[in-house]
Structure 1
Amino acid sequence: MKVIIAGAGAMGSRFGIMLHKGGNDVTLVDGWPDHVNAIKENGLKANFNGEDITVNIPVMLQSEIKASEKADLIILFTKSMQLDKMLQDVKPLISDQTKILCLLNGIGHEDTIEKYIPMENIFIGNTMWTAGLVGPGQVKLFGNGSVELQNLGKNQEDAAKELAATLSESGLNAKYSDNIHYSIYRKACVNGTMNCLCSILDVNMAEFGATKPAHDIVVTVVNEFAAVAKHEGVDLDTKEVVEHVESCFDPETIGKHYPSMYQDLINNHRLTEIDYINGAVARKGKKYGIPTPYCDLLTQLIHCKEDILQAK
């Protein structure tokens, strides 16, 4: 399968490496020149569960894309605020048969994607794999994970199941979901707590979890997400979601991980996706008349941090 990874940061690099090792024809596409040039010159370097490897995968800047062989599958891993521009840039690689799988953090990305591709070719999902961007051309990949996905178009369940099977053949542990919006909101609760709080407090997930207020903060944020989700036909089991979020605290599993927002903002002084996570809940809360004070505040605090660090 000819696969384009649109957004080759930490997670995009993980999927690119695993799909490449699984025998697929993979090309990485990204907008960060230093990262792209490092991969071109030295290969994609990864610490893969403690083993240092170098993988030679074709890579290009999204600005370099020209009409060429069409992709069978484009997996979207760009940042939410860069999604529309990425889709514009990869348009020459899209045919009537190209499938797009969106695995971005956040809520509501299908509204942007359907401007570029028919609904029957759009698949959305989320992933519980972890990855860290060490520097240009270097990533750290550890632990196990999974992927859930679903078709947006009608009568495309078989295509979604085939796509899940293809990902699983490369070890990505993918499965079909018949309620992906529940899973996306559930994952957004992890992002809406761990990502922003670790970035604001400058800690990993285990360190945040060890603080006395952690539980109450998580419960409050999850309840705000759940109240908004309910207005969109998604009934979150808040007790289970809180337990799921707090499982991230365990230092024996992923607790020592610094979330992607931390890596972007604190390590690399890059703008964050907060407006598509807590910010999205805050906007939807205003639309539905639901108070979301914690999401409002966390969104503003991350924007303050972006200004302080002069993030770009």
Structure 2
Amino acid sequence: MKIVIAGAGAMGSRFGLMLHQAGNDVVLIDTWREHVEAIKKNGLRANYNGKEIAEPIPIFYPKELSDSHKQVDLIVMFTKAMQLKPMLQSIKPLIGPRTMVLCLLNGLGHDDTLQNYVPKKNILLGITMWTAGLEGPGKAKLFGDGEVELQNIDPSGEENARRIVDVLKKAGLNGTYSGNVMYSVWRKACVNGTLNGTCTLLDANISEFGATTVAVPILKSIISEFAAVAEKESVILDQEEILQHVIETFDPNGIGKHYPSMHQDLIKNNRLTEIDYINGAVARKGKKYDVPTPYCAFLTELVHAKEQILKAR
């Protein structure tokens, strides 16, 4: 299958590498100059569960797209949330009438953006519980296990969605077909909403934050705001289950020593964050539905203040 990974950061590198190793024709697209040039020169390098590897996977800037890359079978979107629209605009030549587009971005509301560029029957929404990091331009750190859950947003797209699930399974990415992906999207957004901003502001990994006496009360408050807003969109979140799920991530023998992606963006790489598409999205929706979201609103403002202090870009 001809696959494009649009956004070849940490998670895009993981998916690109595993799909490439499974025999697919994979092309990476990214805009980070140092990263792109490093992969062009040395291949995609990775610490893959403790083993150093390098794979010669083609990578391009969006402006380098040519006729030879038209009519791809699958595009996996792994940009930052604020980069989704400009990336879709840039890769329009790749989106043919049969091109499936799988969006695995953090946050909420991406299906509305996708429908401006992709036929609804070809749109897949999903979440992934894989983890990944970047040790530097062109060098990924990949560890642990995970899975991908996805679903078509239009009933006519189920056959193709299940076909993509099989491709992910064959690549070892543990694809599963979801019967209610919007619940899963909200659930994951809730997990990100409790950990990303807090760990970023505290400059802490998940385990360090979880060891504080205030962690669980903060989790409960944020989760309750997500649940109240989600209910207005006919998604009923199991708050106790989500709370216990987040608490489980505190385990240092699991992913507790992991720094969330927002921390990697702002603290490590001085890049703007996705806070407006996670807690910020809940705060905006809260205003729309007249639902109070003080924790999400304040957390969003604090992260923006941190971005300005660090002069992130």
Q: TM-score range by the shorter chain?
A: over 0.9
Structure 2 CA distance for aligned equivalents of residues 265 and 153 of structure 1: 36
Structure 1 CA distance for aligned equivalents of residues 113 and 67 of structure 2: 22
Residue 254 of structure 1 deviates from its aligned partner by 0.4
Structure 1 residue aligned with 2:304 = 303
Q: Normalization by structure 2: what TM-score?
A: 0.99
Q: Does 1:64 align with 2:40?
A: no
Structure 2 residue aligned with 1:52 = 52
Residue 72 of structure 1 deviates from its aligned partner by 0.3
Q: Deviations over 1:176-209 (max 9, x none)?
A: 0010000001100111011111100000000000
Structure 2 residue aligned with 1:27 = 27
Residue 247 of structure 1 deviates from its aligned partner by 1.4
In structure 2, the residue corresponding to 1:8 is in which secondary structure?
coil
Structure 1 residue aligned with 2:36 = 36
Provide the alpha-carbon RMSD of the alignment.
Answer: 0.7
User: Structure 2 stretches of 5 or more lacking a match?
Assistant: none
Q: Does 1:6 align with 2:6?
A: yes
Residue 63 of structure 1 deviates from its aligned partner by 2.1
Q: Is the 8 A contact 1:31 1:63 kept in 2?
A: no
Q: Deviations over 1:66-101 (max 9, x none)?
A: 333321000000011010100011111111010000
Structure 2 residue aligned with 1:185 = 186
Structure 2 CA distance for aligned equivalents of residues 81 and 269 of structure 1: 15
User: Structure 1 stretches of 5 or more lacking a match?
Assistant: none
Identity %: 60
Q: Deviations over 1:98-155 (max 9, x none)?
A: 0000000000101111111100000000000000011110110100001100001122
Structure 2 CA distance for aligned equivalents of residues 173 and 34 of structure 1: 31
Residue 65 of structure 1 deviates from its aligned partner by 1.6
Structure 2 CA distance for aligned equivalents of residues 155 and 117 of structure 1: 14
Structure 1 CA distance for aligned equivalents of residues 156 and 5 of structure 2: 26
In structure 2, the residue corresponding to 1:75 is in which secondary structure?
strand
Q: Deviations over 1:269-312 (max 9, x none)?
A: 00000000000000000000000000001100110110011100
Structure 2 CA distance for aligned equivalents of residues 14 and 167 of structure 1: 12
Structure 2 CA distance for aligned equivalents of residues 62 and 133 of structure 1: 21
Task: Please give the residue correspondences for 1:1-312 in structure 2 after superposition, counting only pairs within 5 Å.
Answer: 1-69=1-69, 70-312=71-313
Structure 2 CA distance for aligned equivalents of residues 263 and 219 of structure 1: 25
Structure 1 CA distance for aligned equivalents of residues 156 and 77 of structure 2: 22
Q: Is the 8 A contact 1:279 1:296 kept in 2?
A: yes
Q: Is the 8 A contact 1:160 1:176 kept in 2?
A: yes
Structure 1 CA distance for aligned equivalents of residues 63 and 159 of structure 2: 34
Structure 1 CA distance for aligned equivalents of residues 174 and 195 of structure 2: 23
In structure 1, the residue corresponding to 2:249 is in which secondary structure?
helix
Q: Normalization by structure 1: what TM-score?
A: 0.99
Structure 1 CA distance for aligned equivalents of residues 291 and 253 of structure 2: 37
Moved over 3 A (4+): none
Structure 1 CA distance for aligned equivalents of residues 37 and 22 of structure 2: 24
